[in-house]
Copies of this chain bind each other. A is one copy, B any other.
């Protein structure tokens, strides 16, 4: 199955907060741009907060960035929104037969390969920051 859109929503939220740095980024405001429900936005900002990417406080309107734009990578967001639990992107079929040469070795053999594939993906995400996203949109808008 595909990786949850929470990830893309998280990126959207952070980018929008950066654009709206002179305004108040309430969950209503963010939800309007993402085109979803404010409660869903609050769930995700809650995750971003737990990961130390943003600051939000109960009762106080608006979410703000907790770090510089250039210090938030897409990998940070990816991990913050729990898009892959236990950090295991690949689901390996459990308990193969120990009586079989292949069965008793297959997991140990493929897990490192799958991990390195996952790592390759994460490395790409690690090298893109929210600042890059913001700059790209600036360019597209001709700002």
Which residues of A does B touch, CB under 8 Å?
1-5, 7-9, 11-12, 15-16, 19, 32-36, 74, 84-85, 88-97, 100-103, 105-106, 108-110, 113-114, 116-118, 120-125, 128, 133, 136-137, 140-141
Docked CA distance A67–B123 (Å): 33
B8, A91: Cβ atoms closer than 8 Å? yes
Nearest chain B residue, comparing its CB with the CB of A132: B113
A97, B33: Cβ atoms closer than 8 Å? yes
Docked CA distance A80–B12 (Å): 33
B2, A90: Cβ atoms closer than 8 Å? yes
A106, B3: Cβ atoms closer than 8 Å? no
A137, B92: Cβ atoms closer than 8 Å? no
Q: Tell me, rounded to whole Å, the shortest Cβ–Cβ distance linking A124 to chain B.
A: 4
A2, B36: Cβ atoms closer than 8 Å? no
Docked CA distance A105–B136 (Å): 9
A109, B8: Cβ atoms closer than 8 Å? no
Docked CA distance A113–B7 (Å): 13
A12, B106: Cβ atoms closer than 8 Å? yes
Chain B contacts for A92, CB-based, 8 A: 5, 8
